[in-house]
Chains A and B, each alone.
Chain A
């Protein structure tokens, strides 16, 4: 069947170079999705897979004007249907046919429109203007092709969706107005993230002048989720690598897992450290507890060095820390927690694994000592703080070395 027979206005019928996706709304609000194939000032030929019956249909053209159309009963075949234009609704009024501009907007591609609009410009500037407009058009096409969001134009407090085929995002108008107000106030582009139920939206506001501009709403939920997955995977790799390199002595855990590594009983002592002079109090308290169980002096000294390193880190990076200590017949365990910014992922290997002293300042010294002496270090670090659990076994094997250590007269201050 010849599609040109579907509608009237043969002389001005024009087949679209690229079929345009449109939505036909029935009188009772149902939606049919179609592709506009041919346009004349008085009719449209549309391919519709699931056309429902309706006395007439409304078609919204890019938010610019609305067409009230009626299906021509005896001319359609299969999914191809002809429609008479009954009314054209535009800001300036209603008419029974498309005017020249509306016809061109529907019938011509954007490139053809640019060529036509710039036809009368002087040759010297025509190519420059055409090139610029087409570059902007290409950008728009890329956005359309991505189908990642919705573009909205705002004028005063009215929002008008731009483009077609874009995903509709239902963000509260209040949120959009807030961004628009900021744009108007500053005259500068604004950007904010909004969380709506489980979705995350990246909203960009671009002011054109003090009362109008554009809003670009991007659904970034999948991007953010992917980033989270990558971060978790990254941490998992660090965990496994660090655990392997340290022979299982340094264990990185999440904050929630900490409880399974720590006692929930009353600690043998607990202290909050706010100034560097208090580090010595922690060392003295721990040393006294260990002397009570006849722990070797050398081991006490080395253990207090480890605690001192962890407490010093808390003071240096968080300004304060909390220390809790448990001594049981088989091990001594100290937890040092702070509310600092945490150790950055990329600094973790350097902070924990850097061996040997360097004349350039390194984060690694403290951890080198701890890893050399302790049996286990459990660490949880995130932007809310860092917690370290230091553990040293107190076993018969260790007690054997007392004789070897008796020669040292060092007492921890």
Chain B
């Protein structure tokens, strides 16, 4: 199942609505979409329709969060399902970035 990415814009907030899987086969699409964003001060990544994630996807997600935080842009990954949140927690992402960045549904 491929990854669908929809970009929404509201004032100074950009939202990436993701649907599908974020794994080795789709991380490049995700990375490209996050690189093309400009002119905002908050980024919301919506995980509501993400059904699967692997360590490659988690790595590129963490890289995107780090990159924008370093630019002073607030990042929220919202609507994370319980099993995916569990994987992020196992890998230490929640403790590294905080539960205000990774928000469970």
Closest A residue to B2 using CB positions: A277
A369 and B55 contact, CB distance less than 8 A: yes
| Minimal beta-carbon separation of A311 from chain B (angstroms) | 9
CB contact under 8 A between A412 and B56, given known A357-B96, A359-B62, A369-B90: no
Q: Please indicate the chain B residues that have their CB under 8 angstroms from the CB of A309 in the complex.
A: 54-55
Residue B46, interface by CB 8 Å: no
Q: Does A142 touch B at the CB level, under 8 Å?
A: no
Contact with B along A380-413 (1 / 0, CB 8 A): 0000000000000000000000000001111111
What is the distance, in angstroms, from A291's C-beta to the closest C-beta of chain B? Answer: 15
When the two chains form their complex, are residues B83 and A357 in contact, meaning their CB atoms are under 8 A apart? no
B52 touches A413 (CB 8 A): yes
Residues of A within 8 A of B59 (CB): 361, 365
Residue of B nearest to A355 (CB): B92
- B-facing mask of A299-329, CB < 8 A → 1, else 0? 0011011001100100110000000000000
Interface size on A, residues (CB 8 A): 34
| Residues A369 and B83 in contact, CB atoms below 8 Å apart | no
Which residues of A sit under 8 angstroms from B84, Cβ to Cβ? 410
Give the interface SS of chain A, mostly helix, strand, loop or mixed: helix
* Residue contact B21 to A316, C-beta cutoff 8 Å: no
Contact B87 A408 (CB under 8 A): no
Task: Enumerate chain B residues within 8 angstroms of A81, measured Cβ to Cβ.
Answer: none
Q: How far is the CA of A133 from the CA of B70 in the complex (A)?
A: 66
In the assembled complex, B79 has its CB within 8 A of some CB on chain A: no
9 sampled A-B residue pairs with Cβ under 8 A = A277-B25, A301-B52, A305-B87, A361-B59, A369-B87, A369-B90, A409-B81, A412-B51, A412-B52
B16 at the interface (CB under 8 A from A): no
Q: Are B55 and A279 in contact (CB under 8 A)?
A: no
Q: Does B18 contact A (CB under 8 A)?
A: no
Interface flag for A174 (CB, 8 Å): no
B:58-99 near A, CB below 8 Å: 58-59, 62-63, 66, 81-84, 86-87, 90-93, 96
Indicate if the CB atoms of B92 and A357 lie closer than 8 Å.
Answer: yes
Q: Which residues of A are found within 8 Å of B20, using beta-carbon distances? A: 413
User: In the complex the two chains form, is B52's CB within 8 Å of A312's CB?
Assistant: no
